[in-house]
């Protein structure tokens, strides 16, 4: 037999053997973690949140009033505060969103009975009584132990209005605004680190062109001043989805006058005109949600490339201050309130997004999930005196170990999760090393039908001690209710083995797993 014929015969034999191998052997699932490397910090603010005057997020969510039978401190319900403190919430964005573009802050100060009411034209056309305003929000942030992120009104507001708000909050001298604050019961100024100069000014914030907004931003930000030692991190309104032109123009015209540039991306299976149910869905909807969710990785990379051209030192942070899954509202609820359940699908969505943000931490400096309570992909649902922690909440609790840790480089090879004619990688992962030297690996298995065995090589780190937690459920649309609040809840995970510097991890189908590795 000639050498050529022998080579063809051996190649055919190899292909025949591969065809009869189990799928798990045909596609090795391997992960390499450079445990002794890593130089970029995962900013804790990537685990931030967003709360708008929308539906029952503020009222019934945070605010119940001082006369409520629900336990509260100065009108702010304590069960919510305790739950958010547990996940170490680092930053909270307020008052919107689109609501910010119609919000005039002086309506929300002074005696509550004297505050004017308005119509919430963006969300449900309901009456807003302004009982939750500047003092209440900053009190909430103090109770939570988090940084406030205030979004200013560029859409219908004025430069003077924005300037006066910053002075009211932060100036400790004698001035009309500081004196007004003292007259309303707050002698000492607050510290305010993050201030957004407008919101979605390409849409609900004024339908502006990028060139026009760039000039508006330059003007408004001039008057967002640093008073009394307070240093403000100014965030310009950025882009959404694939709108790369907006990023290009803003970076070209105004990068030198901003500290951060926002970015918005919602995962909307079915599209904006044909959103699917939050709870009644099949595997095709599951697959589409994961596929769309993963797109943010490429979007961030493309917008970052544009930012790099104007800011190679990465001084300007990308602020993903609205992200999450958006479905149909729950039946028999106000469509303007955007109230939806959070299922196991959303736990995977939260995990994949946070993994992606971690991997881009050199540029991404903050991310704010939309929204914290009773709206969209919320962490908490409330009903009278009861609260429910959603699967999304539990992912944030599991992932809090990444906050302010060093992001570790990872290389992953995995089989595909195939559905009909499409496919995506079945795994998504990030890893970090905290200041105690512990390594945490967060993994998502998107495949709802098959477990995945992953061989994880830790380079430069002996891994004698392992422990972990897993979040999964029997059904892809499992969720927690007020009658059954623990349907989807983390549990101890020990489906791993250790040999030398290699850890083999057995991920259940449709699961989020966090493994801690320590010496």
Catalytic residue set? 200, 322
The distance from CA 270 to its chain's CA centroid, rounded to whole angstroms, is 21
Question: From start to end of 410-451, where are the E strands?
Answer: 410-413, 416-419, 422-425, 427-433, 439-445
Using alpha carbons, select from 333, 344, 424 the residue that is nearest to residue 377: 344
Measure the CA–CA gap between 49 and 373, rounded to whole angstroms.
10
Using alpha carbons, select from 390, 368, 394 the residue that is nearest to residue 147: 368
Q: Is 233 helix (H, G, I), strand (E, B) or coil?
A: strand
The distance from CA 309 to its chain's CA centroid, rounded to whole angstroms, is 26
Measure the CA–CA gap between 221 and 232, rounded to whole angstroms.
10
C-alpha separations of 17 from 149, 415, 493 in Å: 59, 18, 35
Q: How far apart are the first and last CA of the chain?
A: 57
Report the phi/psi class of residue 493: left, alpha or beta, with left for phi > 0 and alpha for psi in -120 to 50. beta
Contact between 239 and 303 (Cβ < 8 Å)? yes
Note if the bond before 60 is cis, omega within 30 degrees.
no
Residues 6+ apart with CB under 8 A from 392: 342, 346, 347, 349, 350, 369, 377, 378, 379
Crossing angle of the two packed helices 159-170 and 176-183, in degrees rounded to 10: 60
Neighbour count for residue 362 (Cβ, 10 Å): 15
Q: Pairing mode, if any, of strands 260-267 and 233-240?
A: parallel
Q: Which neighbouring-strand residues pair with 343?
A: 479
Measure the CA–CA gap between 358 and 440, rounded to whole angstroms.
12
Contact between 387 and 343 (Cβ < 8 Å)? no
Per the listing, tokens 């961030």 go with 300
Sign of CA dihedral 388, 391, 396, 402: positive
Per the listing, tokens 């132990």 go with 145
Contact between 97 and 58 (Cβ < 8 Å)? no
């Amino acid at each position: 037999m000639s050498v050529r014929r022998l080579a063809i015969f051996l190649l055919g034999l190899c292909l025949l053997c591969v065809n009869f191998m189990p799928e798990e052997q045909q596609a090795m699932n391997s992960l390499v973690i450079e445990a002794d490397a890593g130089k970029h910090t995962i900013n804790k603010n990537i685990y931030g949140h967003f709360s708008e005057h929308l539906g029952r997020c503020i009222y019934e969510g945070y605010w119940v009033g001082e006369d409520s039978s629900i336990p509260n401190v100065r009108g702010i319900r304590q069960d919510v505060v305790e739950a958010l403190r547990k996940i170490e919430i680092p930053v909270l964005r307020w008052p919107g969103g689109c609501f910010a573009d119609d919000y005039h802050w002086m309506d929300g100060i002074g005696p509550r009975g004297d505050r004017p009411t308005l119509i919430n034209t963006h969300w449900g056309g309901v009456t807003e009584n302004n009982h939750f305003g500047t003092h209440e929000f900053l009190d909430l942030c103090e109770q939570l132990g988090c940084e406030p992120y205030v979004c200013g009104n560029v859409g219908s507001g004025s430069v003077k209005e924005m300037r006066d708000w910053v002075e009211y909050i932060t100036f400790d001298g004698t001035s009309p605004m500081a004196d007004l604050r003292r007259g309303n019961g707050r002698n000492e100024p607050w510290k305010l680190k993050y201030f957004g100069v407008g919101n979605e000014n390409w849409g609900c914030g004024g339908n502006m062109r990028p060139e026009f907004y760039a000039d508006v931003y330059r003007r408004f930000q001039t008057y967002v001043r640093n008073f009394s030692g307070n240093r403000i991190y100014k965030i310009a309104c950025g882009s959404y989805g694939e709108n790369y032109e907006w990023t290009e123009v803003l970076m070209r015209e105004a990068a030198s006058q901003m500290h951060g540039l926002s970015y918005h991306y919602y995962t909307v299976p079915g599209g904006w005109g044909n959103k699917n149910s939050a709870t009644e869905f099949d595997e095709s909807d599951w697959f589409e949600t994961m596929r769309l969710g993963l797109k943010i990785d490429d979007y961030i990379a493309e917008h970052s490339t544009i930012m790099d051209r104007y800011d190679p030192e990465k001084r300007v942070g990308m602020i993903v201050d609205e992200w999450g899954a958006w479905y149909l509202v729950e039946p028999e609820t106000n469509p303007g309130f955007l109230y939806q359940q959070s299922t196991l699908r959303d736990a995977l969505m939260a995990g994949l997004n946070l993994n992606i943000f971690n991997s881009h931490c050199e540029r991404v400096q903050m991310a704010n999930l939309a929204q914290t309570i009773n709206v969209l992909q919320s962490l908490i649902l409330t009903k009278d005196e009861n609260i429910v922690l959603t699967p999304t909440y539990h992912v944030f609790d599991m992932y809090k170990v990444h906050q302010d840790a060093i992001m570790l480089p990872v290389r992953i090879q995995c089989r595909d999760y195939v559905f009909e004619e499409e496919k995506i990688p079945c795994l998504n992962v990030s890893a970090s090393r905290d200041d105690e030297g512990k390594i945490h690996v967060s993994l998502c298995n998107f495949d709802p039908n098959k477990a995945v065995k992953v061989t994880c090589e830790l380079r430069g780190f002996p891994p004698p001690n392992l422990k972990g937690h897993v979040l999964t459920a029997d059904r892809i649309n499992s969720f927690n209710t007020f009658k059954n609040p623990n349907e989807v809840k983390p549990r101890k995970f020990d489906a791993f083995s250790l040999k030398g510097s290699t850890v083999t991890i057995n991920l259940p189908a449709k699961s989020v797993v966090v493994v801690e590795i320590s010496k």
